[in-house]
Amino acid sequence: MKVPLNIDWQQILLHALNFTILFAVLYFFLYKPVKDFMEKREASYKQQHDEAEQALADAKKTKEEYEAKIAGAEEEISVMKSEAGAKAAEERGKMLEQTRQEAAGILETAKKRGEIEHDKIIAEAQKEIADIVTTATEKIVLSADVKKSYDEFLKSAEGNTKNE
Amino acid sequence: MSKKRRIVSIVVFAVIILAILAGIYLLGKPQPKAEDLRETMRDAVLHEYMKVSLFGIKDVNPSLISAFAVTGILTVFALICRIFVIPRFTEIPGKFQMVLEALVDYFRNLGKTNSPEKHKLLSAYVFTAGVYIFVGTMFELFGIQAITTSGVSISLPAPLADINGAIAMGCMSYLFILFGGIANNGIHGFLGTIKEFSLPLSMSFRLFGALLSGALVTELVYYASFLSYGVPVIVGVLFTLLHALIQAYVLTLLVSIFYGEVSEKKLQKPKKRKRKSKAIVATDNTAENNTEVNTENSTITPEVSK
């Protein structure tokens, strides 16, 4: 039978055989290894991505935990601060009171001492005046020159006052 | 000075070339053509005289030899890749790895987009078919010589520029689609493929026509002597390249589209139910219709909330 266009069934089958061989060769030597490599790489990147996401989630969680902890600590600190402030104020009040008392005591003793000193000075002065008067009287009595002795009395009195 | 020199040298070269051309024209009378254009054209289609002996077993069309040669070249290439390149693949691809990956990725995506459910075998098939058609068509450009049984030397044509090769390709693609339909969809896939009974014919003859016409156009350009200077370089290479790309693209696309169509799971039962429910709604009153809408809403909401 004459087939149009010189179609040769045997050659068609030979072409088909050729293509099948080519398919097997390309599939096993080129397509599959490259595809496997790409899939492996994709999987590894996906794994990396998942791991990174997991790590991020963990980090967020820890961060929240720590933030909560910090907030608690801050509250504690403020409580402690106010307590400490109150204590300090109390202490200060006490100290102030004590100091005041001490100061009052010191003032008191100083006053007393001052008075004693004052009395002492006055007493000494009186004694001196008395001495001057006696010496003057003695001199007047001894010289009997009333006018002179009077003058001398005045002079000695003046000198004393000057000395003092 | 330099300008003058340049002009002088250009003129000298032009004169020499013109002299040589004149010599060629005067000395060599064109040989009587060994073959008639009409006969060549006829033989390119029918292959009545230009046959090549296949290892002395059978006289075959030269394109079968080309097909074997292409398979051999691709086998060597694949083996070299497998042995020397693929074991050295790195996470960050180099240039050659990039090319291989792009190639594989393109056909994988082609399979995936056209047949989302089953695409493993389809992707491998379109990969092979695409590479075979492209390389086979480009093979024509190298002009590898073969000796015909009549003792004339011819350059090997593209494997698919021969009717037998094109029919083999088209029928194999059709059988592959048929296989995919039966494997994935049973009798429905079989019927879906049988419905497209013109597909093997159209695929075969599209390939045959496109590739043969490319070869013939190039041949015609060679035969017109005033066109045979410089023009064949552009026309031959450009046509071959275009055909290689377009035919590889078209056949792989067609195969994946039809494969996806016949291997797609047909959701026929829910469709029937829908029609029935619509009929019920049409016959019943509107209150029932409302309740049905409500139940539909209630079934949808949990999915949304998820």
pLDDT at B263 over 60: yes
How does pLDDT run across B172-200, given as a tens digit for each residue?
999 999 888 888 888 888 888 888 888 88
Q: How many CB pairs under 8 A join A and B?
A: 107
Do residues A26 and B74 make contact, with C-beta atoms less than 8 angstroms apart? yes
* CB-CB neighbors (< 8 A) of A29 in chain B: 75, 78-79, 81-82
Amino acid at A75: E
What pairs with residue B304 in β-bridges? none
Of A49-53, A113-117, B227-231, the one with minimum mean pLDDT is: B227-231
The overall average pLDDT reported for chain B is: 80
What confidence score (pLDDT) does residue B197 get? 86
What confidence score (pLDDT) does residue A83 get? 94
User: What does each C-alpha distance from A5 to A8, B40, B296 come to in angstroms?
Assistant: 9, 15, 62
What confidence score (pLDDT) does residue A102 get? 94
Query: Could you give the ipTM of this predicted complex?
Result: 0.72
What percent of chain B lies above the pLDDT cut of 70?
A: 84
Instruction: Compute the distance between CA of residue B91 and CA of residue B210 in angstroms, rounded to an integer.
Output: 40
Instruction: Compute the distance between CA of residue B265 and CA of residue B276 in angstroms, rounded to an integer.
Output: 21
pLDDT at B38 over 90: no
Do residues B164 and A12 make contact, with C-beta atoms less than 8 angstroms apart? yes
Is A10–B105 a contact, with Cβ atoms under 8 angstroms apart? no
Do residues B220 and B183 make contact, with C-beta atoms less than 8 angstroms apart? no
If pLDDT is split at 50, 70 and 90, which confidence band does B216 have?
confident
**The token pair that represents B179 in the structure block:** 């296989």
- Tell which wins on pLDDT, A5 or B7: B7
Is B124–A23 a contact, with Cβ atoms under 8 angstroms apart? yes
Is A33–B82 a contact, with Cβ atoms under 8 angstroms apart? yes
Instruction: Compute the distance between CA of residue B51 and CA of residue B68 in angstroms, rounded to an integer.
Output: 15
If pLDDT is split at 50, 70 and 90, which confidence band does A27 have?
very high
What confidence score (pLDDT) does residue A144 get? 64
Domain ranges of chain A: 8-163
Burial of B41 (C-beta count, 10 Å sphere; 0-12/13-18/19+): middle
From the list B225, B236, B228, the residue with the least C-alpha distance to B31 is: B225
Mean pLDDT of the region B68-89: 91
Is A25–B89 a contact, with Cβ atoms under 8 angstroms apart? no
What confidence score (pLDDT) does residue A163 get? 62
If pLDDT is split at 50, 70 and 90, which confidence band does B131 have?
very high
If pLDDT is split at 50, 70 and 90, which confidence band does B163 have?
confident
B71: nearest CA in chain A?
Answer: A22
- Residue A12 in contact with partner chain B when CB distance is under 8 A: yes
Count CA within 13 A, CB hemisphere, residue A27.
Answer: 14
What confidence score (pLDDT) does residue B126 get? 92
Out of A7, A26, A44, closest to residue B127 by CB = A26
Instruction: Compute the distance between CA of residue A16 and CA of residue B26 in angstroms, rounded to an integer.
Output: 52
pLDDT at A134 over 50: yes
* Chain B closest-CA separation from residue A40 CA (Å): 10
Instruction: Compute the distance between CA of residue B159 and CA of residue B71 in angstroms, rounded to an integer.
Output: 10
- Residue B148 in contact with partner chain A when CB distance is under 8 A: no
Mean pLDDT of the region A95-109: 94
- Tell which wins on pLDDT, A69 or A153: A69
A14: nearest CA in chain B?
Answer: B64
B163: nearest CA in chain A?
Answer: A7
pLDDT at B54 over 60: yes
- Residue A43 in contact with partner chain B when CB distance is under 8 A: no
DSSP calls for A78-122? HHHHHHHHHHHHHHHHHHHHHHHHHHHHHHHHHHHHHHHHHHHHH
Residue tagged 């492209």 (tokens)? B134
CA terminus-to-terminus distance, chain B: 85
If pLDDT is split at 50, 70 and 90, which confidence band does B299 have?
very low
How does pLDDT run across B97-115, given as a tens digit for each residue?
999 999 999 999 999 898 8
What pairs with residue B154 in β-bridges? B146
What percent of chain B lies above the pLDDT cut of 90?
A: 25
What confidence score (pLDDT) does residue B1 get? 63
Mean pLDDT of the region B117-129: 89
- Residue B164 in contact with partner chain A when CB distance is under 8 A: yes
User: How are beta strands B153-155 and B145-147 bridged, if at all?
Assistant: antiparallel
